[in-house]
């Protein structure tokens, strides 16, 4: 479960007060809102990249509010993938496991398993240069899931993709997250994505997060779609 | 005409203030927004654009020609000095070269010493500069700490300060403890050469490294941390490999600055032959005794060394693909 409890956060450009949200265990949470409203900031504070002023963040029942991001065990897929230059796709998938000193045999088994799951077995020896947008995001997703995190954070992972690739990635995200049972928080401003992927829908307006019922969905789609 | 245009626009705006009116073109009748009736002349645009590129090209070209001209003049002078030696009879090219100024310079024990000391001291100070510039550049680019702007400003001092003043300041610094205890080992000794070169070159290396780290997206580092890396691991595995080209640029720049260092060396290390004499000092000493062809020969040796180092780092720094 992802639980943010009355979080307050101040940065140079804006401040967020009294933010609370919940994504139940194993569900796919969709956080929507206009560009610049602070969605990414909330995501970054869950990952631990931003220090919060007050409030609590709980991941799977554990209070991680003051915990180092490296110890939180959150998979993170940023907007453009942020792949590591000069590293092969195989190195990307193995990265978190090498850091954790996992045995070489287990790493190689996990890399093959992930590559097959994400359909990137043919790309294992390529470097990020020359990969297409969809391929990059698959690698970034594989890298984030490699160490079997319990929580996955996605920051507009599909926004830079063309319509067809986006559809394929949506299907992939859905099946992969279902299969791994990971609790996911996905930030987007695209209501279509939210409709396809989300189990629970959260919307940021005027600095607060509202939970939306199933009933709200079509209305929202009409407004923005 | 003018009046009607102004009137209409003023009437169209309830708040038609005088300041607003002045912004409107005086002699145009229509403000409806349809400007398709006034196409820009294509010929005129072509001429203006050509003039733009030609004028920029000519201004820039002057400087490029100046650089090439200086090097060519050195080369021409050296050839003129070398060839008369060959008049005596039929000798091999090697013989001609070895009797010319460059050959005589290379045969001189003291100049050979100065070449060796230059290469060693420049390499040492360049490596030291990069070792300091990488952490300093990283902290300045990535972290907001108290006094950051002050540190940033202090780092500009060696760049803007006259080099002579840096040499003098180093000399004065070593009058005071704890530095004064080390003074006999450093001042007017070989380590002073490296220290004087480092004092200036490092500032350039720090600038290069800071702009390198500024350009690297912090996102990759953040991902690495979310994957379980400590700061050191994220830096070593992700940031440093991406900064590789910047490190090589900083190394080259620091090396070249060190090779050209002269003022601080003269004051802080002295110009003792076979001891603290580097190539730039050699040029100065040879010029002082009126030995212009020797000075030019040593200058050309420096040019050659600089070109070799530049090419080596370019080859090394070529993108892997």
State whether B281 and B152 are in the same domain: yes
CB contact under 8 A, A99 and B320: no
Residue of B nearest to A144 (CA): B227
Summarize the confidence of residues A94-120 as an average pLDDT: 93
State whether B179 and B240 are in the same domain: yes
Summarize the confidence of residues A39-43 as an average pLDDT: 90
Q: Are strands A15-23 and A151-155 parallel, antiparallel or unpaired?
A: unpaired
Q: Which domains does chain A have, with CATH numbers?
A: 2-84+148-224 (3.40.50.300)
pLDDT, chain B, mean: 84
Q: Any chain A CB within 8 A of the CB of B321?
A: yes
- In whole angstroms, what is the distance from residue A8 CA to residue A20 CA? 9
CB count in 10 Å sphere of residue B196: 30
State whether B54 and B187 are in the same domain: no
> Which pLDDT belongs to residue B273?
84
State whether B68 and B107 are in the same domain: no
CB contact under 8 A, B226 and A76: yes
Which of A48, A82, A129 is the closest to B223 by Cβ? A82
Q: B34 lies in a domain?
A: no
Distance (Å) from the alpha carbon of B128 to chain A's nearest alpha carbon: 26
CB contact under 8 A, A70 and B222: no
Q: B293 lies in a domain?
A: yes
Instruction: Show residues of chain B in contact with A45, CB under 8 Å.
Output: none
Residue of A nearest to B217 (CA): A82
CB contact under 8 A, B220 and A73: no
CB pairs under 8 A between A and B: 68
State whether B242 and B293 are in the same domain: yes
> Which pLDDT belongs to residue A13?
74
> Which pLDDT belongs to residue B70?
92
pLDDT exceeds 70 at position A219: no
Summarize the confidence of residues B162-189 as an average pLDDT: 90
Q: B18 lies in a domain?
A: no
Give the percent of chain B with pLDDT over 70: 83
Which pLDDT tens digit goes with each residue over A155-203?
A: 999 888 888 888 888 999 999 999 889 999 999 988 888 888 888 888 8
Tell me the pTM: 0.80
pLDDT exceeds 90 at position B69: yes
**DSSP string for residues in B42-75:** HHHHHHHHHHHHHHHHHHHHHHHHHHHHHHHHHH
State whether B54 and B149 are in the same domain: no
Which pLDDT tens digit goes with each residue over A57-88?
A: 999 989 999 999 999 999 999 988 899 988 99
| CATH at B129 | 1.10.3720.10
Instruction: Show residues of chain A in contact with B144, CB under 8 Å.
Output: none
* Residue range of the domain that includes B257: 102-316
Give the percent of chain A with pLDDT over 70: 94
State whether B126 and B227 are in the same domain: yes
Q: Give the total number of structural domains in chain B.
A: 2
Task: Using pLDDT thresholds of 50, 70 and 90, give the confidence band for residue B87.
Answer: low
- In whole angstroms, what is the distance from residue A194 CA to residue A30 CA? 6
- In whole angstroms, what is the distance from residue B97 CA to residue B101 CA? 8
State whether B137 and B282 are in the same domain: yes
Which of B220, B228, B321 is the closest to A99 by Cβ? B228
Which pLDDT tens digit goes with each residue over B105-157?
A: 888 888 899 999 999 999 999 999 999 999 999 999 998 889 999 999 999 99
Q: Any chain A CB within 8 A of the CB of B22?
A: no
Task: Using pLDDT thresholds of 50, 70 and 90, give the confidence band for residue B91.
Answer: low
Query: How high is the ipTM of this complex?
Result: 0.90
């Amino acid at each position: 479960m992802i639980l943010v409890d009355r979080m307050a956060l101040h940065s140079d450009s804006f401040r967020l007060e009294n933010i609370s949200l919940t994504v139940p265990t194993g569900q796919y949470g969709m956080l929507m809102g206009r560009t610049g409203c602070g969605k990414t900031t909330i995501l970054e504070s869950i990952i631990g990249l931003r220090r919060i002023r007050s409030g609590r963040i709980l991941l799977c029942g554990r209070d991680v509010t003051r915990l180092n991001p490296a110890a939180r065990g959150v998979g993170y897929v940023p907007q453009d993938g942020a792949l590591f230059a000069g590293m092969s796709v195989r190195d990307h998938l193995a990265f978190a496991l090498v850091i954790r000193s996992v045995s070489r045999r287990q790493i190689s088994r996990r890399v093959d398993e992930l590559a097959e799951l994400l359909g990137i077995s043919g790309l294992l020896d390529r470097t990020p240069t020359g990969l297409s947008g969809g391929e990059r995001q698959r690698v970034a997703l594989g890298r984030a899931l490699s160490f079997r995190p319990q929580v996955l954070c996605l920051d507009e992972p599909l926004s830079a993709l063309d319509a067809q690739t986006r559809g394929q990635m949506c299907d992939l995200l859905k099946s992969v997250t279902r299969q791994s049972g990971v609790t996911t928080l996905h930030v987007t401003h695209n209501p279509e994505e939210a409709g396809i992927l989300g189990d629970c829908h959260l919307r940021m307006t005027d600095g607060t997060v509202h939970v939306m019922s199933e009933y709200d969905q079509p209305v929202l789609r009409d407004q923005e779609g | 005409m003018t009046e009607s245009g102004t009137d209409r626009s003023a009437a169209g705006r309830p708040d038609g203030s005088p300041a607003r009116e002045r912004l409107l073109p005086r002699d145009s009748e229509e403000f409806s927004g349809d400007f398709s009736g006034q196409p820009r002349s294509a010929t005129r645009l072509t001429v203006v654009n050509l003039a733009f590129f030609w004028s920029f090209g000519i201004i820039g070209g002057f400087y490029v020609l100046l650089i090439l001209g200086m090097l060519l003049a050195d080369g021409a002078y050296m050839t003129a000095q070398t060839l008369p030696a060959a008049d005596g009879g039929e000798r091999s090219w090697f013989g001609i070269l070895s009797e010319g100024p460059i050959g005589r310079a290379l045969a001189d024990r003291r100049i050979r010493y100065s070449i060796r000391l230059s290469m060693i001291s420049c390499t040492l100070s360049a490596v030291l500069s990069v070792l300091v510039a990488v952490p300093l550049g990283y902290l300045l680019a990535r972290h907001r700490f108290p006094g950051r702007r002050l540190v940033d400003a202090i780092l500009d001092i060696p760049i803007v300060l006259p080099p002579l003043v840096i040499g003098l300041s180093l000399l004065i610094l070593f009058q005071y403890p704890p530095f004064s205890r080390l003074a006999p080992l450093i001042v007017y000794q070989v380590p002073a050469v490296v220290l004087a070169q480092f004092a200036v070159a490092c500032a350039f290396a720090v600038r290069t490294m800071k702009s390198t780290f500024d350009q690297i997206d912090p996102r990759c580092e953040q991902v690495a941390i979310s994957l379980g890396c400590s700061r050191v691991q994220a830096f070593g595995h992700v940031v440093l490999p991406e900064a590789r080209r910047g490190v090589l640029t900083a190394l080259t720049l620091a090396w070249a600055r060190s090779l050209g260092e002269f003022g601080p060396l003269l004051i802080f290390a002295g110009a003792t032959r076979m001891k603290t004499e580097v190539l730039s000092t050699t040029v100065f000493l040879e010029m002082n005794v009126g030995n212009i062809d020797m000075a030019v020969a040593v200058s050309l040796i420096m040019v050659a060394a600089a070109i070799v180092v530049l090419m080596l780092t370019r080859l090394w720094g070529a993108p892997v693909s």
